Every structure is written in structure tokens, then in C-alpha cells.
Amino acid sequence: MAALRDIQNKISAVKKTRQITRAMNMVAAARLRQVQERTERFRPYAEKFSEVLSSLSEGMDPEAHPLLAQPENVERVGLILITADRGLCGSFNMNLILKGQQFLTEKKAAGQEAALYAVGRKGVDYFRRRKVEFAKIMPGVMNVVDFDLATEVARLGLNAFLSGEVQEVYLLYSRFISLVSQVPTLEKLLPISAQAAEPGEEAGPKLEYLTEPSAAEILVDLLPRYLNVRVYSGLLETSTSENGARMAAMDNATRNCKEMINNLTLAFNKARQAAITTELMDIVGGAEALKAG
């Protein structure tokens, strides 16, 4: 009888787990929609921005602005690593962290130092356990991704770059391909490369602008803002990926729970049948003994 009770307990435990994973799946789905909406609303801004930037930067001298200047030798690089704050989303965080780790190892092999800026708690936790030094940590910020956060993160990179602390700044984030596929992506943020400022598919006729103040001065104003735009879209992509990954992971977990419940129910029924059979055998055996007596 004890075995029966055990199985029953297990079944109800798994059922509770399933309830939780199902709820988490739905929460992730709702959040995913929210972030996607944000991305949607951000798109016109981003598009217009790169359009203006590309028409301005045409014919500009790459040395004209400190953010465009390619460094002669790179001694120290900055890495901005974006991860999620929370786990339970499959290998999502680990993929990002491993890519970051690989980047750090490569840079070390090349004789360059690296300064790590970690956005999101999971990345912070991982590298702290491994006693990697941070230039700056920002745990617990991925819950609400807004433009202010992007500005703050971009300013970290910008300040380090302008003060000469680092000669290059990279951004590592997760690109959202689909619900089942998110790819950790490494991009060079600073110095801004000339191609990045010029999207290739631009086909429309170029307008000659009057500018106020001069084009060069506008560019000075524009380029730091361009960083904000890049970082913001990185943050949005990562947040979308996180929720997508969590949805998939929780969906899987729910399915596994269902399978376990099926197996356990089968085991329970078998055990019950066995118990009944044994009992019957006892009774029959007893009756036979009486008759013989």
C-alpha cells in the first residue's frame, strides 16, 4: 500500500509543477508581446535616424570625429555584455556568457586587456563566481527596458572610450531570430565604423541639405545618440530573446510534466492491480485451506 501512496504523492507534485510552468509560459508570452510592441514603436525612430546619419556622413572625413577615429594600437577593450536577470529560460544566458568568455579569452591571447560591463544579473553572477573583475555591473535592470537604460549603458561605453581607458568597445547581445532560435551576437560599438553609418540598400535620391549648424557639428551631436540607438536595439533584442527562450523552455517543461504524469499514472494503475490480485490470491488461498480442513 505504501508504494501506492508514494506514487500518488508524486503525481500530485508533478501536477503542481506543471501548473507553475504553464503559468510561467503564459507570463513569458505576455512579456514577449510587450517587448515586441516596444520594438515596433522604436522602429520608426531607428530607421529615420540611420537615414539621416547616412546622408550626413556621406563624404565625411573619418578623422573628423573622435568616435570615428580608428585606434592605432589596441591595448584595452571594453565589452558590454547583456544577459537576463532571471534564469529558467533554457540555455539562453549560458550561450551569451560563453560567447563573452570566449571573447575575453581571445583578447587575452592577443595580449589585450578587457574591461567588462555586465548588464543583467545572470552575467554578473557568473563572472563574479569566477573572480573576473568588472568595470561596472548593472544587475536587475532587464525587467523594464527603456531608452533611459540604453542611454545609461551607452554612456558607460562612451566615457571609457573618450577618456582613453579603452580603445574599442563591443556589445554582446542576443539577436532574436524566432521563438526557438536566439543567437548571441557580438558587435563593435566604438569606434563607429564608416560602413555601419551607411546602410547599403538606401536607394532613394539623396537630398542636399541645408544644415544648421554645420554638418560636422550636427554629426558631433548625432554620433553619441547613434550609440544610444544601437544599445537600445540590442537591449530590446535581448529582452525579446529572453522571453522567447523562456516561453520555449516552459513549454518543454509543461510537456515533460504531462509525460511524467502519464507514466506515473500507468505505474499507479499497475501497482493497484497487483495489490488487488495479491489480495484475491490470499482470500482464495484461505478459502481453499478451509475447504480442505
8 A C-beta contact, residue 219 and residue 57: yes
Cell numbers given for 42:
522604436
Q: Judged by CB under 8 A, which of 232, 246, 247, 251 binds another protein?
A: 232
Q: Does 49 bind another protein (CB under 8 A)?
A: yes
Interface positions, 233-292, toward another protein (CB under 8 A) = none
8 A C-beta contact, residue 76 and residue 157: no
Minimum gap (Å) between residue 169 Cβ and another protein: 19
The one-letter amino acid code at 267 reads A
8 A C-beta contact, residue 179 and residue 248: yes
Q: Does 42 bind another protein (CB under 8 A)?
A: yes
Q: Does 230 bind another protein (CB under 8 A)?
A: no
Cell numbers given for 226:
547613434
Q: Judged by CB under 8 A, which of 109, 110, 210, 290 binds another protein?
A: 210
Does residue 89 have an active-site annotation? yes
Q: Does 229 bind another protein (CB under 8 A)?
A: yes
Contact range with another protein by CB under 8 A, out of 15-23, 91-99, 119-127, 219-227: 219-227
Q: Which of 24, 79, 89, 115 is flagged as catalytic?
A: 89
Cell numbers given for 172:
554582446
Q: Judged by CB under 8 A, which of 218, 260, 261, 267 binds another protein?
A: 218
Q: Does 208 bind another protein (CB under 8 A)?
A: yes
Measure the CA angle with vertex 233, ends 229 and 234; round to 5°: 115
Q: Does 221 bind another protein (CB under 8 A)?
A: yes
Distance of CA 4 to the CA centre of its chain: 43
Minimum gap (Å) between residue 52 Cβ and another protein: 6
Q: Does 222 bind another protein (CB under 8 A)?
A: yes
- SS3 readout for 129-166: HCCCCEEEEECCCCCCCCHHHHHHHHHHHHHHHHCCCC
Cell numbers given for 283:
482470500
Residue 209 per-residue DSSP state: P
End-to-end CA distance of the chain: 31
Interface positions, 91-150, toward another protein (CB under 8 A) = 146-147, 150
Name the residues that contact another protein, by CB under 8 A: 38, 41-42, 44-46, 48-49, 52, 56, 146-147, 150-151, 207-213, 215, 217-218, 221-222, 225, 228-229, 232
